[in-house]
């Protein structure tokens, strides 16, 4: 029995070490979002790009484009003031996995506007540690897909 | 309110695309391979796996007592599915392999090949290009539980396991008539499978070890080991009776091998029930909805509810009802769309009956994006329908319809 348990443990460790589940979730999310006519070929191209990103250290682009940032900001700012509080901003960055829970961001006392939010998101994601950073998109991608889907549907209705 | 905690409206194209392209199974098989091999570099491994595209290649094990026709079935399946056959004989006879050399020496000395060597041979063979590309059929291996365990640790797992069964007496008798063609290595039988060409008939040889005593001994050994092997393949096992003509066994085996097992993919049933009046559509729909938690949508009912709703459409529909004309398609579709778009339908799935009634309606349904993924046609002959409809009674208390004779009713 120990052999079985240790194999299972070994398998779990492997999954965690290489973050396989996040990778697979990311790939599935991309497939369902883009819906290419030939899923296998598209998957191969995605993985090739990932491999390249890992090898050369260039950041792999992920979903967060301008409309999504705007949508996210709007969701946090329902009354349409044009600003969000610092706590909301930190929460948003945490959701995007762009900062860890314990990281201390300087609260310079100013409120965060849309432009500032957008710049911060883009810069923080650019500034992330390149070679290992291909990990980060996976965790966020499922939330982003649903966010994008939601923003797409809200803009439609 | 946090956007991620509110219920998400996932566009319907996503699950439809996932179902149509079997994305779940694709990812599942990739994860299986990753866990079996645990490569240091997962991404190149995954790229290679996707290139190989061999998720649906046959991977079959055929087990059975001596004289059950294993080898014959294995050979026929092999030819039919265009895949590779692996038997002890072919594995042992392999050239250019040190493992095979070793195994042959052991066989010559002890008349038995040790399990580890045999499984090593199997592993070697399965890693070759043609087995990877076209699949494999293992005939008579594994023979013992130890061999099964060794195969499992090496990650060699079949997708279908066939076990042939027959009563011992039949097998002992059958084995007496076994003949082998030394040239093609095909197995023939004096009574059941006699070759047609005279030259093949002339060169057939009696194999050794087919006397009754021998066969009985082998059968005993087989029964002892098979009982320990079967529990290792819980969901992929199929037992086929070998006590029938070869062709029947072959067709049963072929149909089994070509069916894929029930997958764990997320599936929302979208069921369409078609059939003439009185075929029992409403009843079946109600039962299905109850059993699987689906939403039961009866088109007629839907329209009547729409009338009650006091919306703009209801007056329109009411006017058609009054004139006793069929409601036009686009109005029906609007009402249907409203119902099918509601979150309970999207999440739980639906059973639809009473619509579509003709080809145009079906096309319109498909074009709106509501294609069903299971369609049933309830086929009832005309006389039965007439009988059922004329004798149909409505229970005034519950509003249920019963046709006596089909459904004996307790109330009336």
Cβ within 8 Å, pair A150-B47: no
Mean pLDDT of B43-68: 89
pLDDT per residue as tens digits for the range B293-311: 999 999 888 888 888 887 7
What pLDDT is stored for residue A5 in this prediction? 80
DSSP letters, A25-60, are HHHHHHHHHH--SSHHHHHHHHHHHHHHHHHH-PPP
Of A47, A95, A143, the CB nearest to B47: A47
pLDDT digits (tens, 9 = 90+) for B155-165: 888 999 999 99
Confidence of residue B4 (pLDDT cuts 50, 70, 90): low
pLDDT for B290 equals 92
- The residues near B176 (Cβ < 8 Å, ≥ 6 apart) are B210, B211, B212, B215
Burial environment of residue B125 by CB neighbours within 10 A (0 to 12, 13 to 18, 19 or more): buried
Q: Nearest C-alpha of chain A: how many angstroms from B14? A: 5
Identify the pLDDT of residue B279. 85
Let me know the angle formed at the C-alpha of B121 by B117 and B127, rounded to the nearest 5 degrees: 145
Q: Tens digit of pLDDT for each residue in B57-99?
A: 899 999 999 888 888 899 999 999 999 999 888 888 887 788 8
| SS3 call for B205 | strand
Query: Do B27 and A23 lie within an 8 Å CB cutoff?
Result: no
Indicate yes or no: CB of A39 within 8 angstroms of CB of B50: no
Asked if B86 and B141 touch (Cβ cutoff 8 Å), the reply is yes
Give the mean pLDDT of chain B: 85
Q: pLDDT category, B383, cuts 50, 70, 90?
A: confident
Q: Write the residue in B8, B13, B31 that is nearest to A35 by C-beta.
A: B13
What pLDDT is recorded for position A131?
36
User: Searching chain B, which residue's CA lies closest to the CA of residue A152?
Assistant: B11
A46: closest chain B residue by CA = B47
Q: Return d(Cα A111, Cα B233) in angstroms, integer.
A: 62
Using a CB-CB distance cutoff of 8 angstroms, which residues of chain A are in contact with residue B12? none
Output the pTM of the full model: 0.69
Q: Which tens digit of pLDDT belongs to each residue from B244-288? A: 888 899 999 999 999 888 888 888 888 999 988 888 888 999 999
Mean pLDDT by 10 residues, chain A (157 residues): 78 90 89 90 90 70 58 72 72 62 54 72 55 42 49 46
Contact, B250 vs B73, CB < 8 A?
A: yes
CB–CB contact A47 B34 (8 Å): no
Q: Count other Cβ atoms within 10 Å, centred on residue B153.
A: 11
Find the CB nearest A32 among B14, B31, B51: B14
Find the angle CA(A20)-CA(A135)-CA(B14) to the nearest 5 degrees.
65
Contacts of B47 in chain A (CB under 8 A): 44, 47-48, 51
The C-alpha torsion from A66 through A72 and A73 to A78, rounded to 10°, is: 140
């Amino acid at each position: 029995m120990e052999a079985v348990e240790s194999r299972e443990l070994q398998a779990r460790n492997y999954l965690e070490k290489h973050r396989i589940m996040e990778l697979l979730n990311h790939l599935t999310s991309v497939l369902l979002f883009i819906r290419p006519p030939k899923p296998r070929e598209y998957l191969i191209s995605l993985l090739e790009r990932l491999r390249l990103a890992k090898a050369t250290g260039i950041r792999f682009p992920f979903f967060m484009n301008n409309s999504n940032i705007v949508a996210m900001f709007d969701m946090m700012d329902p009354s349409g003031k044009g600003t969000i509080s610092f706590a909301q901003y930190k929460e948003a960055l945490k959701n995007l996995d762009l900062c860890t829970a314990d990281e201390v961001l300087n609260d310079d006392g100013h409120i965060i506007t849309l432009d500032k939010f957008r710049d911060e998101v883009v810069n923080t994601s650019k500034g992330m540690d390149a070679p290992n950073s291909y990990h980060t998109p996976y965790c966020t991608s499922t939330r982003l897909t649903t966010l994008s889907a939601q923003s797409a549907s809200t803009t439609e209705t | 309110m946090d956007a991620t905690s509110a219920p998400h409206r996932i566009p319907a194209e996503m699950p439809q695309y996932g179902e149509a392209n079997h994305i779940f199974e694709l990812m599942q098989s990739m994860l299986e391979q990753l866990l079996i091999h645990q490569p240091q570099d997962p991404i190149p491994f995954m790229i290679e796996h996707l290139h190989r595209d061999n998720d649906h290649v046959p991977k079959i094990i055929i087990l059975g007592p001596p004289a059950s026709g294993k080898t014959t079935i294995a050979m026929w399946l092999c030819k039919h599915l265009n895949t590779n056959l692996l038997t002890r004989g072919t594995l042992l006879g392999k050239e250019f392999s040190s493992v095979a050399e070793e195994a042959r020496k052991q066989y010559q000395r002890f008349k038995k090949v040790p399990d580890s060597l045999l499984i090593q041979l199997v592993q070697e063979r399965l890693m070759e290009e043609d087995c990877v590309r076209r699949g494999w059929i293992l005939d008579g291996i594994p023979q013992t539980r130890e061999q099964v365990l060794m195969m499992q640790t090496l990650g060699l797992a079949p997708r279908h396991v066939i076990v042939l069964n027959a009563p011992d007496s039949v097998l002992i008798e059958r084995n007496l008539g076994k003949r082998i063609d030394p040239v093609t290595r095909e197995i023939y039988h004096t009574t059941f499978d006699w070759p047609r060409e005279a030259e093949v008939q002339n060169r057939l040889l009696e194999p050794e070890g087919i006397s009754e005593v021998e066969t009985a001994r082998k059968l005993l050994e087989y029964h002892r080991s098979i009982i320990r092997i079967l529990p290792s393949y819980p969901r992929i096992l199929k037992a086929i009776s070998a006590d029938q003509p070869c062709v029947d066994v072959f067709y049963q085996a072929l149909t089994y091998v070509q069916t894929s097992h029930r997958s764990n993919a997320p599936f929302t049933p979208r069921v369409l029930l078609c059939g003439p009046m009185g075929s029992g559509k409403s009843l079946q729909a109600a039962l299905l909805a109850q059993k699987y938690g689906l939403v039961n949508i009866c088109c007629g009912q839907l329209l009547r509810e729409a009338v009650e709703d006091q919306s703009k459409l209801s007056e329109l529909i009411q006017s058609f009802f009054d004139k006793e004309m069929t409601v036009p398609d686009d109005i029906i579709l609007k009402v249907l769309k409203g119902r099918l778009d509601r979150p309970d339908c999207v999440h739980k799935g639906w059973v639809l009956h009473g619509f579509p009634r003709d080809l145009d309606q079906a096309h319109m349904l498909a074009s709106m994006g509501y294609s069903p993924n299971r369609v049933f046609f309830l086929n009832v002959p005309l006389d039965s329908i007439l009988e059922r409809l004329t004798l149909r009674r409505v229970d005034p208390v519950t509003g249920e319809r019963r046709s006596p004779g089909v459904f004996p009713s307790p109330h009336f």
